[in-house]
Amino acid sequence: MQRPIELTQYLAVRYTQRLAEAGAGAVASAGSTGDSYDNALAEAFHSLFKAELVRNRGPWRGLDEVEIAVAEYVDWFNHRRLHGEIGLVPPAEFEDNFYQQESMSEQDEALVPSL
């Protein structure tokens, strides 16, 4: 007799299948098929999301209430949450600063005459 697939294994397989259906770019960004890290980020965010939003702000009265709460959470997560690993700034601010610095260095390179 063959042992049944555990739910977590099934979900990882289904996740990989959905990425493949989405196209090569999505699959390439998530790691190779069967890679133990292919959905680690998604799982970590999902756990954080459940702990901070679903459990702390429920119970929910309907789908509209859930959709608004999710949109507010994602906005907070990206634009106002202070992230310790990037200098206690929100991720969107860190990303903006990164691209500004990159743009400035490209402009500086353009000013240097080539040999």
Sequential pLDDT tens for the chain (115 residues):
555 555 555 556 676 677 677 765 555 555 555 555 557 778 888 888 888 888 888 788 999 998 999 999 999 999 999 999 999 999 999 999 999 998 887 776 766 666 6
| Dihedral of the alpha carbons of 95, 101, 105, 106, in degrees to the nearest 10 | 40
* Model confidence pTM above 0.75: no
Q: Is the peptide bond before 59 cis (omega within 30 degrees of 0)?
A: yes
The residues pairing with 89 across neighbouring beta strands, listed in sequence order, are 83
